[in-house]
Structure 1
Amino acid sequence: MSEADRRSLAAFAVAGLLFGGTFVAVKAGLAYFPPLLFVALRFDVAAVALLGYAALTADREDLLPRTWRDAAGILATGVFAIGLTNALLFVGQQHTTSAVAAIVFSLNPILTPLFASLLLADERLSLRGVAGMALGFVGVALVVNPDPATLMTGGVGKAILFAGAVLGALGSVLIRWSGGGLPSTVRTAWGLPFAALSCHLFSLWAGESPGSITWAPEAVAALAYVGVLAGAVAYIAYFGLLDAAGAIRANLVFYLVPVVAAVGGWALLGEHISTFAVVGFLTIFAGFAVIGSESVDLPTLRRRVADRTPDRIDAPPAEEPRGFEAD
């Protein structure tokens, strides 16, 4: 495994782990914050943290956008991938359970290839990729295992969450489409103030008041988690992965999120993990394995194995054709 692959795997794990706690933290925080003001404050905290980090770690010449592509990437990040997506998540989760919210948002990896096929020439989903994503989605459904009666109710909340998943998928593809030369951390740091501003405006439009916030220790803890850990830190990992692996593969992290939420609930809250959930974990892993196998050169691997069989040890290796194929 190359160093780049190890970094991508680490980013995938960090994003999945930290995003996995978001649904629980949001549900807890909504008892103390109005939803849109909650997400706006989240972005305030994340913006301060990430702008400071970018200023300390990025080269000075990389801190400012220079082209329209840089600006487009910033807007795609702040308005779509972060701002509207999270605003709809926080509002929608008022009307449904965390489990249902997780399964609706896990549609993101399925929606991403649809936008990628329209906007990105270098990202297409093969039949093997479709099979792997289908396995992943079945695994998510098994892990979350929502009550069918609950799943069939709360149509408003699920519609809002679905809109958030659509905008999240579109935003990730627009970031790749825009190109630009900004490092992912700098682009995200510039995008967060746009996300914060838009959510503050939505909050004012909805008539939310800061006076309605209850500043209990649990509220501070929830805000710190979604702002710093599931905000700044997870965004560094996720948007770096987006640049390195592409929109389709990066958004597979949303299949890991319900797994982390289920395990976290079992470890921290004493929640029961059902047999369905265990089967779901294995099914998601199988989906990842199917998708990951696309990077393995199976014909070359079979040829190498065949060349090492006993009856071919003394045979000279077949010369591979170079250039144009012979007639």
Structure 2
Amino acid sequence: MVVDRQTLRYFLTAAVLFGGTFVAAKAGLAYFPPLLFVAFRFDIAALVLVGYVLATRSRSELLPRTRGDVVGILATGVFAIGAANALLFVGQQYTTSAVGAIMASLNPVLTPVFAALLLGDERVSPRVVAGLLLGLVGVGLVVGFDPTSVSSLGVGKLVLFAGAAIGALGTVLIRWGDGSLSSTVRTAWGLPFAAALTHGLSWATGEQLSAVTVAPAGLLTLVYLGVFAGAIAYIAYFGLIDEVGAVRANLVFYATPIVATLGGWALLSEGISANAMLGFGVIFAGFAVLGSDSIDLGDVLPAVGDTPEESGSALNINGEPRGFESD
């Protein structure tokens, strides 16, 4: 299979930078309270991405024109980016980088469930049920769930699961709004709302600026999360969507746990259990079942010449991305 260099560049950039999110978040939590940490990340990402769209988009492309555009901006900022990342950073305190990335990769499996509940043109087919069940079994393996005790899940993993679910809900709400803004512009609008939300949550939970430890390593993680895993990764991911469509672009989020695992091992001396890796494989199988009407399982990377229209499917909800917001 021939892969276009630009497509490969987008894919690798997004996968590596998004995968590094979990390593940087885990490392940076030693220096920042979790909600204030993610709020600062959004402050930086908003400045960079807003500057990018102002420099590269016309005025007509930037301005919201319909109620659907406003719904999409709020769904992006409040749910798909803001609340999802807030839960990710809180949950990441209690588990490894790899497990956090694997839990976040559940987002594409949960999206069709919310679509069936909220969108009139979606239904829960046997294939969707099978994919969801596989995903849940995979999560059970990742978190080491003991069916005789709900407490075996652990607080952190429950919080990470909630973050993946809220990210999926936000994606469906974006579709429900049916706005006209591009994904990049909508995200640039949404990031300030995400920053405001997380700053508010930080204040409401009693986090203090005095709890921040100013150190080169902490500032490095913050810059990475705001500039590289934030604005640059978003730009690469949206470019990948433009090249190959949202469904195949979502394969990025099945590469991110590999990056997170290697990064956590190399930089933080983290390990990962065999059950967690098996669970990730089961989650990936669930995604494959959900996308089986449109994804050739041999297409590990998108091929040249595929267009978003050619790759549409049950998971491609109006061509919207599936998980980038919760990374």
Superposed pair shares fold, TM > 0.5: yes
Residue of structure 1 equivalent to 2:207: 208
Paired residues of 1:95 and 1:154 also in contact (CA < 8 A): no
Query: Normalising by structure 1, what TM-score?
Result: 0.73
Residue of structure 2 equivalent to 1:168: 167
- Tell me the CA shift for residue 271 of structure 1: 6.0
User: For the residues of structure 1 that align with 2:231 and 2:37, how far apart are their CA atoms?
Assistant: 16
Query: Normalising by structure 2, what TM-score?
Result: 0.73
Residue of structure 2 equivalent to 1:225: 224
2:228 maps to a residue whose letter is L
Aligned identity (percent) is 63
User: For the residues of structure 2 that align with 1:215 and 1:224, how far apart are their CA atoms?
Assistant: 13
Residue of structure 1 equivalent to 2:115: 116
Closer, same or farther in 2 for the Cα pair 1:73/1:190, shift >3 Å? same
Residue of structure 2 equivalent to 1:263: 262
User: For the residues of structure 2 that align with 1:84 and 1:277, how far apart are their CA atoms?
Assistant: 25
User: For the residues of structure 1 that align with 2:282 and 2:72, how far apart are their CA atoms?
Assistant: 34
- Tell me the CA shift for residue 29 of structure 1: 0.6
- The aligned runs of 1:179-218 (5 Å cut-off) are 179-218=178-217
| Unmatched tracts of structure 2, length 5 or more | 297-327
| Unmatched tracts of structure 1, length 5 or more | 298-327
Paired residues of 1:112 and 1:251 also in contact (CA < 8 A): no
CA deviations over 1:265-321 (Å, ceiling 9, x no partner)? 455567668877887887777777767763479xxxxxxxxxxxxxxxxxxxxxxxx
CA deviations over 1:241-262 (Å, ceiling 9, x no partner)? 678745x665554333212212
1:168 maps to a residue whose letter is G
Count of matched residue positions in the alignment of Structure 1 and Structure 2: 292
Residue of structure 1 equivalent to 2:318: none
Paired residues of 1:15 and 1:253 also in contact (CA < 8 A): yes
Which structure's CA Rg is the greater one? 1
CA deviations over 1:116-152 (Å, ceiling 9, x no partner)? 223346666866677677777877888x68798xx96
Q: Secondary structure of 2:255's match?
A: helix
Q: What is the aligned-residue RMSD (CA, Å)?
A: 3.8
User: For the residues of structure 2 that align with 1:296 and 1:196, how far apart are their CA atoms?
Assistant: 35
Closer, same or farther in 2 for the Cα pair 1:60/1:129, shift >3 Å? same
- The aligned runs of 1:1-327 (5 Å cut-off) are 7=7, 11-120=10-119, 153=152, 155-238=154-237, 245-246=245-246, 251-266=250-265, 294-295=293-294
Closer, same or farther in 2 for the Cα pair 1:238/1:160, shift >3 Å? same
Paired residues of 1:15 and 1:238 also in contact (CA < 8 A): yes
User: For the residues of structure 1 that align with 2:265 and 2:208, how far apart are their CA atoms?
Assistant: 35
Residue of structure 2 equivalent to 1:310: none
2:167 maps to a residue whose letter is G
2:108 maps to a residue whose letter is P
User: For the residues of structure 1 that align with 2:28 and 2:224, how far apart are their CA atoms?
Assistant: 10
